[in-house]
Amino acid sequence: MEDKTLVCVECGKEFTFTEGEQAFYAEKGFQEPKRCKECRQKAKERRNAKRAEAKPAEEKPAEIEEAADEPKAE
């Protein structure tokens, strides 16, 4: 198996998919990367930022449960 030169779908830059990376991807059942290392890192940062923004919304059900435990004022 030889190193492969691939083209990033995001920035269009060529990058090397090394023999070792190919073996690792094959062992894990992964597809060839479509993005260069830099664009993969940027995509990961965007995903993490979206998850961080979504966390407060996930905490709302607990607040609703607490309100349900309180007696109703009549």
Burial of 33 (0-12, 13-18, 19+ CB in 10 A): middle
pLDDT at 66: 54
Residue 19 lies in a domain: yes
Residue 73 lies in a domain: no
pLDDT band at 55 (very low <50, low <70, confident <90, very high): confident
Write out the residue range of the structural domain in which residue 10 sits: 4-68
Residue 10 lies in a domain: yes
Q: How many domains does the chain have?
A: 1
- pTM of the shown model: 0.63
Residue 74 lies in a domain: no
* Per-residue pLDDT tens over the stretch 10-45: 999 999 999 999 999 999 999 999 999 999 999 999
For residue 11 the two structure tokens come to: 């920035």
